[in-house]
Amino acid sequence: MCRSQLHFADQYKTVDFFAVHNDLANISVPPDSAIQSVVSARRRDIQFGRFRMKCALRLLVGGLALATMQQALAQSGTMSLPKTVEAGSAFSIQTSGSGKAVLYIVGPAEVLKRDVQLGQPTSFAAGDLHNAGRYVAVLVGGGSPENGEFDLTPAKQPANLSFLAKPSRISVSLHDGISGAAYVFDAYRNLITTPMPVSFQLSGLSGPAQERTVVTRNGGAWTAMDSASKDGAAQFVARVGNISATRVIQQVPGEPCGLKMSARPSGQKIELQTEPVRDCSGNAVPDGTVVTFTELYNGTQTTVDVPLKRGIAQAEMPAYNGAKISAATGVVLGNEIRWGGQ
Amino acid sequence: MTKLLLVCTVFAASLPLRADQAAVRIEPTNLHGPRVLVKQTETAVIQDYLESWQSVDAALGQNRVDLLDRDFVGTAKEKLTDTIQEQTKLGLTTRYQDRSHDIQIVFYSPEGLSIQLIDKVEYDMQLLDHDKVQTTQRVHARYNVVLTPAEVRWRVRVFQADPE
């Protein structure tokens, strides 16, 4: 634009220069050389003054004319936008008018800038614009910019699943104890918001697999499932189309279901031992679970905490005739033994 | 006179966008998950989300990736980072001044690790090319936002406008 303004001004200067020369032809000069030089100087001053005035006038007129032309060009620079474009697909924006302009495609998720030739379509290759969102298209062609908006929608084909599963370790036989939420994304990491079925499957070593299909809402789907009655690792899988994500859930035995101990004499002591401790589904309670043995004799209480080893707990306590001995773990109270038969 | 008008127009267009607060409307929650959303969590999520718009404005307005750290994580942060890098390359900056929000929390995942909200937002987008204002446009959009808990606040993990 600067170049054309300069060129425009030069044209006017050239025309003005010739006009000044034509005016000189009408001034008559006396033959005396001294007078002639004074007249020449005066004539140069007049020439220069006229030249400056005319230059300024013509430049002003030229500038106004140029501004009007720019306005006209800007008005003719319009564009036709698609309403929506699928992420990653090729598309084009048609412009009208003539001359050059700059096209901006702007959004928080992506920004593009292209030099365009008005009147010709501007093509965007597949993948040029791939982040879903609302975009503002701005066409700047010398005058006031032309703005428009369009949406870039996620691709229809799922390519990735974000799968959140909890907990990673859970007791057996818990209703709705395992939950999972899945978000479906396309190849460009756009959240696919059109509803689509997600299948969840929980399968372990024993028993039939649990399976549910949930249709996504706003790109997400969730489910809750029961933990199995047998301990062991379970595979928790979310699947949409041929895309899947797997999480391993460790199912561990639950709380002890019952506790039974036996006692036998061992010198001055009593040797206590539990039977293998199991949960209500018959799974062995893990080693390390603490069993508390309590002996009550003559108003004195003695307590021993023992962790399970190989499924059983063992302890030695003083042998007092008439002592009452009990065992407990968690909320489960075992049998009671009265020593000595008193 | 024409010159004066032109100067006025250029001056008006160069003015920074208003920094006043956006109007916020919170719709009743419409959860499709089993987890109960307590008021304290709801308030924290919305407050952190609204603050994320200020981070977007500052980060994209100054082309500074570090300004995203407080409020964004994962995909949202990566995409905004890419935009900032592209803007820097092209000599562009953009301002995003949010004007109004109409927010509804729609999903609280059962394990408590994500909250999803829909925001019908109105904002002014100003585009500058080498510090020259090219345009200012008011935009209406429906944002689909997923936030996940971090140490002390909720961070935006998905920040995506969908067709209304």
Nearest Cα neighbor of A106 from B156, B93, B106, B149 is B93
Domain boundary assignment for chain A: 2-76, 79-153, 160-252, 261-341
Which token pair is A30? 């006396």
The yes-or-no verdict on residue A293 having pLDDT over 70 is: yes
List the domain range (segments joined by +) for residue B105: 27-162
pLDDT, tens digit (0-9, with 9 covering 90-100), for B42-90 = 999 999 999 999 999 999 999 999 999 999 999 999 999 999 999 999 9
The CATH number assigned to the domain holding B34 equals 3.10.450.240
Model confidence at A182, pLDDT cuts 50, 70, 90, reads: very high
Please identify which residue in the block is written with the tokens 């084009």.
A92
Kindly report the average pLDDT of chain B as a whole number.
89
With CA atoms as reference, the chain A residue closest to B60 would be: A108
Q: Is B32 on the interface with A (CB under 8 A)?
A: yes
User: What percent of chain A is modeled with pLDDT above 70?
Assistant: 77
Structural domain count of chain B: 1
Cβ pair B134:A138 closer than 8 A: yes
Cβ pair B94:A217 closer than 8 A: no
Write the DSSP symbol of residue A158.
Answer: -
State which amino acid sits at residue B116: Q
Q: How far apart are CA B107 and CA A221, in angstroms?
A: 9
Distance from CA of B79 to the nearest CA of A (A): 6
Contact by Cβ (8 Å): A295, A302: yes
The total of other beta-carbon atoms located within 10 Å of residue A196's CB is 15
pLDDT, tens digit (0-9, with 9 covering 90-100), for B100-124 = 999 999 999 998 999 999 999 999 9
Query: What is the arithmetic mean of pLDDT over A8-34?
Result: 36
Model confidence at B21, pLDDT cuts 50, 70, 90, reads: confident
pTM of the entire predicted model: 0.73
* Residues of chain A found within 8 Å of residue B116, distances taken between Cβ atoms: 218-220
The yes-or-no verdict on residue B6 having pLDDT over 90 is: no
Residue of A136, A219, A224 with shortest CB distance to B137: A136
A79-153 and A261-341: same fold? yes
The yes-or-no verdict on residue A56 having pLDDT over 60 is: no
Would B4 be classed as within a structural domain? Answer: no
The yes-or-no verdict on residue A17 having pLDDT over 50 is: no
Is the bond preceding residue A167 a cis peptide, omega within 30 degrees? yes
What does residue A42 show for φ and ψ, rounded to 5 degrees? -60, -40
Q: What is the per-residue pLDDT for A189?
A: 97
Distance from CA of A144 to the nearest CA of B (A): 9
Fold annotation for A79-153: Immunoglobulin-like (2.60.40)
Q: What is the per-residue pLDDT for A319?
A: 93
Query: What is the arithmetic mean of pLDDT over A76-99?
Result: 90
| DSSP character string of A108-126 | TTEEEEEEEETTSPEEE-T
* Residues of chain A found within 8 Å of residue B60, distances taken between Cβ atoms: 108
Report residue A317 CA to chain centroid gap: 62
Which token pair is A289? 């679970």
Q: What is the per-residue pLDDT for A74?
A: 39
pLDDT, tens digit (0-9, with 9 covering 90-100), for A294-341 = 999 999 999 999 999 999 999 999 999 999 999 999 889 999 999 985
Model confidence at A57, pLDDT cuts 50, 70, 90, reads: low
Model confidence at B23, pLDDT cuts 50, 70, 90, reads: very high
Task: Beginning with the edge strand found earlier in the chain, give each strand of the sheet holding A100-107 in spatial order.
Answer: A84-86, A146-153, A133-140, A100-107, A110-117
Q: Is A66 on the interface with B (CB under 8 A)?
A: no
Q: Is A217 on the interface with B (CB under 8 A)?
A: yes
Q: Which residues does B36 contact at the CB level (< 8 Å), separation at least 6? A: B108
Q: What is the per-residue pLDDT for B59?
A: 98
Q: Which CATH class is domain A261-341?
A: mainly beta
Q: Which CATH class is domain A160-252?
A: mainly beta
pLDDT, tens digit (0-9, with 9 covering 90-100), for A202-242 = 998 777 899 999 999 999 999 999 999 889 999 999 999 99
The yes-or-no verdict on residue B1 having pLDDT over 60 is: no
The total of other beta-carbon atoms located within 10 Å of residue A126's CB is 12
* Residues of chain B found within 8 Å of residue A153, distances taken between Cβ atoms: 162-163
Q: Which residues does A6 contact at the CB level (< 8 Å), separation at least 6? A: none
With CA atoms as reference, the chain B residue closest to A167 would be: B111
Better-predicted residue by pLDDT, B18 or B80: B80
ipTM above 0.85, yes or no: yes
Would B16 be classed as within a structural domain? Answer: no
Please identify which residue in the block is written with the tokens 């961070």.
B155
User: What percent of chain A is modeled with pLDDT above 90?
Assistant: 68
| DSSP character string of B73-86 | -HHHHHHHHHHHHH
pLDDT, tens digit (0-9, with 9 covering 90-100), for A187-199 = 999 999 999 999 9
